[in-house]
Amino acid sequence: MPRIVQSFASVGSSSAEKSKPTRLDFNKGWGRGSIFDWYKLLKDPQAKSIKSVQVRKDLKLNVLGEVDIITVISACFAMHTDENTKKYSFLRYNCFFFSWTILMVVSRYDQPYEIPSTKLVIDRFQSTIDHMTTLIVDEAITLFLDLVVDTITIIRDKAADSLNPGMSVGGRLVWAMPIKVLRFFWRRLFNARLHCGLRAQLTKMVKKQVIDVASKVHETTLSSRIAKDNLNKHLWIEDIEPEVKKALEEEAMKVLWKAIIEAISSGLATMAPGEIEKQILDPSFKFSLLGKDVRQFCAVSSAALNGGLLAARDVQEGFEGLKHEESFNKAWDAASQGALAAAKIVAEHTGQILKNKPERIEMYQQLWRIWDDCWAEARELTRPRSVRTVEVVMETLMASGANAMIQELKSCGTKVEASVPNKASCYPAHSSPFLMAESYLVEHEVEVVKSTSRTIQRNDDLQAARDYARDYQKRYDQRKGIGSG
């Protein structure tokens, strides 16, 4: 780095001092050595301010005196102590590598990231909300149908023939259906409700919850985690995506399960017990030809579904800090008891309307006795599939949220004042093609995000400078096609 070393000597207080370059020697660690002695002798604050950073005659970056020269020293120190960059050789690094690294570090300090407002990020996020809502609704409906069919199948298998005495011929026919036919039966019943406005209601609730979750998560993330812990560790905006997604996910985990349950229960649990009971008396009821027992069973099943969803929704607290599996268990166990209570009420009321025989009453008593065991078995069966669905929803939200934030960061950027001469005339491509690539690198990467200046603090900035140097080296190696090592 001869040009930079000589530039340090040009700020001395006498002509004798100016003629002697100051050596960048970091063997004694931070704060000790000739370069730090030289820096401490600079009493005039203006002598410490960098007006511009020039890389040979290829690029000149104007920072208007708002960056302290200790930033350059810090970057040099970080490269000196880094396990990769300290192994300097021309086979690995072009002679401009260190100069470009320092230039990028200084430009980032001069223009640190500006945190976009939550409103701007959410506005951008909402441009994808319809597609995202459709995906979540489709996943929710498929999962919900699977949960219902799997639970009924387990009840049927565990009950075996013990419920038959209380069933009519039509009821036994339905109860003995193959699982594929049973799934078709329930899908037709459920789709009828979807076409009657249930899907629109579910879509509305899911969309509302997605926006609410996104607003809460982005507000928390932007106001604390991202601003303090993430952005200023990276030179390049694109490289913050994994960290942004991680921060968003950690915040989303606190509210996601509650939001999912709220959306599904509010969207699907739309029938009061009285409405369910009236359903069996309606002549237009879809399966009335199968007999009153089947109609009653449909009413009891609908009541159980509604009661379970509402009970799960009432679990307002306790999801924060839980893993997906634990959250599912908590919601499922609450739904089990809510479904049982609702099913008992509707079974008793409809039994009085239909004048159930003693065998029919005993059938339901037997069902209540095996209820907890059946739901516990169904919980173990359905939990992996449910967790996978939630993970798909989470990944969709995180990807869209991170993309919205990164795009908004890019949109609020500004160009650093810099001059780049025409390298084609200075360095013909046939004589130095790599210099042409370097010119492309600067012209396309020197756009950084505008924000306020910040005071240099030794400990934080040393680590940041090391991260910057490593970050830049990675990009540099990728440009040259060199692997790490």
Q: What percent of the chain has pLDDT over 90?
A: 6
Domain end marker among 384, 411, 438: 411
Distance separating alpha carbons of residues 32 and 28, to the nearest angstrom: 6
C-alpha of 195 from chain center: 33
Distance separating alpha carbons of residues 209 and 197, to the nearest angstrom: 19
Residues 187 and 296 in one domain: yes
Residues 183 and 286 in one domain: yes
Query: pLDDT band at residue 91, thresholds of 50, 70 and 90?
Result: low
In a domain, 3, yes or no: no
Residues 264 and 355 in one domain: yes
Residues 301 and 329 in one domain: yes
CB-based contacts of 67: which residues, under 8 Å, 6+ apart?
49, 50, 106, 109, 110, 453
**122-128 long-range Cβ contacts below 8 angstroms, 24+ apart:** 122/211, 122/214, 122/215, 122/218, 122/404, 124/404, 124/407, 124/408, 125/214, 125/218, 125/400, 125/401, 125/404, 126/211, 128/400, 128/404
Per-residue pLDDT, 469: 60
User: Is the model's pLDDT at 225 over the cut of 70?
Assistant: no
**Range with top average pLDDT, 255-269, 296-310, 335-349:** 335-349
**CA distance between the termini of the chain:** 22
Residues 192 and 221 in one domain: yes
- What is the pLDDT averaged over residues 6-14? 43
- What is the pLDDT averaged over residues 112-139? 83
Residues 100 and 177 in one domain: no
In a domain, 58, yes or no: yes
In a domain, 7, yes or no: no
Beta bridge partners of 55: 59
This model's pTM is above 0.85: no
Query: pLDDT band at residue 224, thresholds of 50, 70 and 90?
Result: low
Residue 115 has what DSSP assignment?
A: P
Domain end marker among 411, 445, 460: 411
In a domain, 359, yes or no: yes
Residue 111: count of CB within 10 angstroms of its CB: 23
User: Is the model's pLDDT at 252 over the cut of 90?
Assistant: no
How many separate domains does the chain show? 2
In a domain, 9, yes or no: no
Domain end marker among 411, 443, 458: 411
Which stretch of 178-187, 409-418, 466-475 has the lowest confidence by average pLDDT? 466-475
Q: What are the CA-CA distances from residue 435 to residues 41, 402, 432, 448 (Å)?
A: 37, 35, 6, 22
Per-residue pLDDT, 290: 54
In a domain, 156, yes or no: yes
In a domain, 298, yes or no: yes
User: Is the model's pLDDT at 316 over the cut of 70?
Assistant: no
Residues 329 and 387 in one domain: yes
Per-residue pLDDT, 379: 93
Residues 80 and 207 in one domain: no
**34-39 long-range Cβ contacts below 8 angstroms, 24+ apart:** 35/8, 35/73, 36/73, 38/8, 38/12, 39/69, 39/70, 39/73
Tokens of 215: 């607003």
Per-residue pLDDT, 474: 67
Residues 37 and 164 in one domain: no
Residues 99 and 131 in one domain: no
In a domain, 390, yes or no: yes
Residues 437 and 457 in one domain: yes
Domain with 83 in it: 24-112+417-480
Residues 460 and 316 in one domain: no
Which stretch of 150-164, 349-363, 431-445 has the lowest confidence by average pLDDT? 431-445
